[in-house]
Amino acid sequence: MTEQDFIKLIAKELELKSTQVAATVELLDDENTVPFIARYRKEVTGGLDEVQIRAIEDRIRYMRLMQERKETVLNSIEEQGKLTEELRDSIMAATKLQEVEDLYLPYKPKRRTRATIAKEKGLEPLAARILAQEDVAGQPLQIAAEFINAEREVETAEDALAGARDIIAEIVSDTADFRKYVRECTLNDGEILSEAKDPKNLDVYEIYAEYRDGVKKILPYRVLAINRGERDGFLRVKIDAPGDELVAWLEKQVITNAKCIFKDEINKAVADSYIRLIAPAIEREVRSHLTEIADEHAIKIFSENLHNLLMQPPVKGHIIMGIDPAYRTGCKVAIIDGTGKYLDGDTIYPHQPQNRWDYSKIQIKNLIKKYDVSVIAIGNGTASRETEQLVAETIGEIDDRQLQYIIVNEAGASVYSASPLAKEEFPDLDAAQRGNISIARRLLDPLAELVKIDPKSIGVGLYQHDVNQSNLVRELDRVVESAVNSVGVNLNTASVALLNHVAGIRRSIARNIVEFRDENGRFVSRQQLLQVKGMGPKAFTQCAGFLRVPDGDVFFDSTAIHPESYETADAFLRRLQINPAEVRSSGQVIKLKLKSSGLTVPKLADELSVGLPTLQDILDAIEKPDRDPRDAMDAPIFRSDVLKMEDLQPGMRLKGTVRNVVDFGAFVDIGVKQDGLVHISKMANRYVKNPMDIVSVGDVVDVKIVSIDIAKGRIGLSMIDD
């Protein structure tokens, strides 16, 4: 297949035009980033979004790798002198790697097998004669006796037949069409079975002690659970396929002459081929296939949860107190300002063994008063709820103050606190205090802080440590890149970690930007980026539109308009007789001008010789120069008093925040120590196939208490409106 064939195939798969796919592939080959292409090359791609561009990127990579594999396979077969035109055409026409590998199997160099040993004994001619099925008279043992050879360890005629059967078994196993049929039957009609190795020792795998499910219908998370149980040594797992039917089908394909005297030998060889060679290989393939699907599903869930978490709205305009709870070592307290700058810190010991409860409240009050704190962020780790009680009591004792608190997910804070980045940011603070600052900053700006942490440590997925790690890392990097670039980055406040995820910026350039800012003061324009070491024209083109310079010398630098479109944006404003100062004060002036002038965006696009998508993006950016897409998300729930599990009653209705979404439901923080579970069956008054169709991480939802198990720390919730 040629590159053009790939383009056509991808277009058909993704239901796109070939011109769109070809243009996107060309842009990707020219090292343009996906966020840049999606945002600033809409006319070229026909308006493809990031998801579509990623799909094209993945498919073209797969097909090119497949093409490379085809060439390797063809060269290998040709070197063996066994390449025919028919085989070449079959390999070149294959559209899946599995098809290529099936066709290559008979020619693939093998380790020493029973078949190769039989060939070394000179039994290949006998196998060929048996498969020819031309003998209709005589005795198999008499014919096989001709191949007795003591020097080659063929002592009897039965030894000769056994060796010939081994050769036939391998031939049957290596036949691509046979493999394909068995594979498809196993996928469609097979079952996956798991059983306990020791029924008395099942750990968390009790449900899988005697479990059976169809290969075709087993849920992805169950595959991952079974895999983990097998890996941890608690379960035995196998694939149960319709073996008798498959052997009968293979016999029917192989036997072309029912009167042949070698029919029984062929049947034995076919049965051996299936049981010893084909079935185990197909079982491995099917298990691998199921795991791959489960991985993709788990990674998708993790990715969507991570994206929604990163897109949580920042809490602006507050001085924030962060508290990292602990018992013996004390609770670390940190104060940050509205830019995330660390102002002060302390350690309090309200819990056992010190029990300095009242003095801890005095310490908190003093810091609140000194820095005019308006929000307190409490980590959700050990001693979290006891610390929440302390904070709630303290707030209740403060007069004339609108002070509230919130529990913040601290997953990964310890990972950050021990990282080189944290040491570089706060070289004079200990790890515990660094982690506490991270907790406070997560409330201030979740995106800016969470990008500093390995996404796997954030804890918004299921089985994230069991899936293919390279695929997970690649997908999560994409999610972070997408989130960062959709929000945009303040060039004068962004950290190295945040800048590193901007399209076109490598870590070395990110560091150079921060160093340039430290040495020369704040950036006043995007154009200054070209003075940064390592920032060439190509990198500037990719990143400039995603970097913002609020209150800079150039109005457009504070918007999502790309520098390459400044002339068009300027001409657009002049045509409407609007100056940047008017827009800064109110973006609505543009709609008013358009209405009063009778002009339309399509008409202006023609007049200014610019694509309609680009002009529409320019209009949107000018109307809302400070737009943050995260502002449309649900605001976090702040509290001033404490709710305990003992306070809950079935039927009680509460507001909660979705913390994690998984296949079987969603975990919701309702303000007590344990998140409650809304099972998928309790999400709506209708069948719900995917919980993500109903909720996302960060959503604020109304829930009803269905069940409470204080001993096990379990809370059942429902979102169904009675």
pLDDT in tens, 596-605: 888 899 999 9
**Whether 664 contacts 462, CB under 8 Å:** no
Q: Which of 108, 291, 279, 271 is nearest to 179 (CA)?
A: 279
| Total count of residues recorded for the chain | 722
Rounded to whole angstroms, the Cα distance separating 473 from 454 reads 9
| E strand residue ranges, 464-589 | 489-490, 547-548
Rounded to whole angstroms, the Cα distance separating 667 from 697 reads 9
Cα torsion at 547, 552, 553, 554 (round to 10°)? 40
Q: What 8-state DSSP symbol labels residue 306?
A: H
* Long-range contacts from 297-300, C-beta under 8 angstroms, 24+ separation: 297/220, 297/221, 297/663, 298/220, 298/221, 298/224, 298/461, 298/462, 298/463, 298/464, 298/466, 298/467, 299/467, 299/468, 299/471, 299/472, 299/475, 300/475
Topology of 645-718 in CATH?
OB fold (Dihydrolipoamide Acetyltransferase, E2P) (2.40.50)
Strand arrangement, sheet containing 235-240: 210-214, 191-196, 235-240
Q: Which residue has the tokens 């996928």?
A: 187
Rounded to whole angstroms, the Cα distance separating 363 from 611 reads 60
| Backbone conformation region of residue 215, classed left if phi is above 0, alpha if psi is from -120 to 50, else beta | alpha
Residues 6+ apart with CB under 8 A from 121: 149, 152, 153, 154, 163
**Whether 169 contacts 273, CB under 8 Å:** yes
* b/e burial code for range 101-137 (CB count within 10 A of at least 16 → b): bbbbbbbeeeeeebbeebbebebbebbebbbebebee
What dotted CATH number matches 3-107? 1.10.10.650
Rounded to whole angstroms, the Cα distance separating 678 from 681 reads 8
For the record, the structure tokens of 517 come out as 């800012």
3-state secondary structure 205-273: CHHHCEEEEECCCCCHHHHHHHHHHHHCCCEEEEEECCHHHHHHHHHHHHCCCCCCCCHHHHHHHHHHH
Q: Residue 595's pLDDT is what?
A: 84
Rounded to whole angstroms, the Cα distance separating 108 from 250 reads 22
Burial of 472 (0-12, 13-18, 19+ CB in 10 A): buried
Q: Which of 240, 78, 99, 95 is nearest to 177 (CA)?
A: 99
Q: Residue 320's pLDDT is what?
A: 97
Q: Which of 704, 701, 702, 700 is nearest to 652 (CA)?
A: 704
> Alpha carbon 611 to chain centroid distance?
34
**Whether 28 contacts 44, CB under 8 Å:** no
| Backbone conformation region of residue 515, classed left if phi is above 0, alpha if psi is from -120 to 50, else beta | alpha
Q: What 8-state DSSP symbol labels residue 686?
A: S
Q: How far apart are the first and last CA of the chain?
A: 58
Question: For the chain, which ranges sit under pLDDT 70?
Answer: 400-401
Rounded to whole angstroms, the Cα distance separating 347 from 364 reads 10
Handedness of CA 68, 72, 78, 79 (dihedral sign): positive
Q: Which of 637, 644, 636 is nearest to 385 (CA)?
A: 644
**Whether 504 contacts 474, CB under 8 Å:** no
Q: Which of 271, 252, 259, 281 is nearest to 102 (CA)?
A: 281
Q: Which of 54, 47, 75, 56 is nearest to 14 (CA)?
A: 56
Q: What is the three-class DSSP state of 315?
A: coil
Rounded to whole angstroms, the Cα distance separating 381 from 393 reads 20
Strand arrangement, sheet containing 331-336: 342-348, 331-336, 320-324, 375-379, 404-408
What dotted CATH number matches 320-514? 3.30.420.140
Rounded to whole angstroms, the Cα distance separating 338 from 139 reads 94
C-alpha separations of 205 from 194, 222, 292, 491 in Å: 10, 11, 21, 50
Cα torsion at 688, 691, 694, 698 (round to 10°)? 170
Q: Residue 180's pLDDT is what?
A: 96
C-alpha separations of 472 from 97, 456, 468 in Å: 22, 9, 6
* b/e burial code for range 75-95 (CB count within 10 A of at least 16 → b): eebeeeeebeeebeeebeebe
| Number of Cβ atoms within 10 Å of the Cβ of 667 | 20
Rounded to whole angstroms, the Cα distance separating 688 from 120 reads 61
3-state secondary structure 430-458: CHHHHHHHHHHHHHHCHHHHHCCCCHHHC
Q: Residue 400's pLDDT is what?
A: 63
Q: Which of 699, 710, 590 is nearest to 655 (CA)?
A: 699
Q: What 8-state DSSP symbol labels residue 330?
A: -
**Whether 282 contacts 178, CB under 8 Å:** no
Q: Which of 51, 62, 143 is nearest to 97 (CA)?
A: 62
C-alpha separations of 551 from 338, 492, 566 in Å: 17, 11, 17
Burial of 618 (0-12, 13-18, 19+ CB in 10 A): buried
Q: Residue 294's pLDDT is what?
A: 94
Topology of 515-632 in CATH?
DNA polymerase; domain 1 (1.10.150)
Rounded to whole angstroms, the Cα distance separating 430 from 423 reads 9
Every domain of the chain and the residues it spans: 3-107, 320-514, 515-632, 645-718
The secondary structure element, H or E, covering residue 316 is none
Rounded to whole angstroms, the Cα distance separating 648 from 615 reads 54
Pairing of strands 714-718, 653-662: unpaired
